[in-house]
Amino acid sequence: MKRQIAILGSTGSIGTQALDVIREHPDRFEVYALTANNQVDLLIRQAREFLPEMVVIANEQKYEYLKESLSDLPVKVWAGTDAIAQVVQAEPVDIVLTAMVGYSGLRPTIEAIRAGKMIALANKETLVVAGELITQLALEYKTPILPVDSEHSAIFQCLVGEGDNSVEKIILTASGGPFRKYSLKELESVTKEQALKHPNWNMGAKVTIDSASLMNKGFEMIEAKWLFDVAPEQIQVLVHPQSIIHSMVQFSDSSVKAQLGMPDMHLPIQYALAYPDRLNASFERLDFTKYTSLTFEEPDRSKFRNLGFAFEAIRQGGNRPCVLNAANEIVVAAFLQDKIGFLQMSDVIELTMEKVSFVASPEYEDYVQTDAEARATAFSILNLKRWKQF
pLDDT number for residue 389: 44
Cα 103 to Cα 81: distance, rounded to the nearest angstrom: 12
268 domain-assigned:
no
pLDDT at 198: 77
| 121-324-306 Cα angle (round to 5) | 95
Q: Which structural domain, as residue segments, surrounds residue 333?
A: 317-390
In this structure, are 253 and 328 located in the same domain?
A: no
Q: What is the CATH number of the domain that holds 389?
A: 1.10.1740.10
* pLDDT, averaged across the chain: 94
Residue 157 lies in a domain: yes
Reference 3, options 30, 24, 35; nearest CA is 30
Do 228 and 171 have their domain in common? yes
Per-residue pLDDT, averaged over 27-54, amounts to 97
> Looking at residue 71, which CATH number applies to its domain?
3.40.50.720
Residue 214: which region, alpha, beta or left (left: phi > 0; alpha: psi -120 to 50)?
A: left
pTM of the model: 0.92
Whether residue 279 is contained in a domain is answered as no
188-202, 230-244, 345-359: which range is least confident on average?
A: 188-202
Residue 28 near residue 43, CB atoms below 8 Å? no
Separation of CA 121 from chain center: 8
Q: What is the pLDDT of residue 104?
A: 85
Residue 387 has pLDDT above 80, yes or no: no
Question: In which band, very low, low, confident or very high, does the pLDDT at 199 lie, cut at 50, 70 and 90?
Answer: confident
* Residue 349: strand, helix, or coil: helix
Domain end call among 107, 129, 147: 147
Q: What residues pair up with 239 in beta bridges, in sequence order?
A: 174, 297
Of the three residues 147, 164, 182, the one that is the final residue of a domain is 147
In the prediction, which pLDDT does 383 show? 84
Residues 6+ apart with CB under 8 A from 240: 173, 174, 175, 176, 294, 295, 296
Domain count, the chain: 3
Q: Is 44 within a domain?
A: yes
What CA–CA distance (Å, rounded) separates 295 from 317? Answer: 33
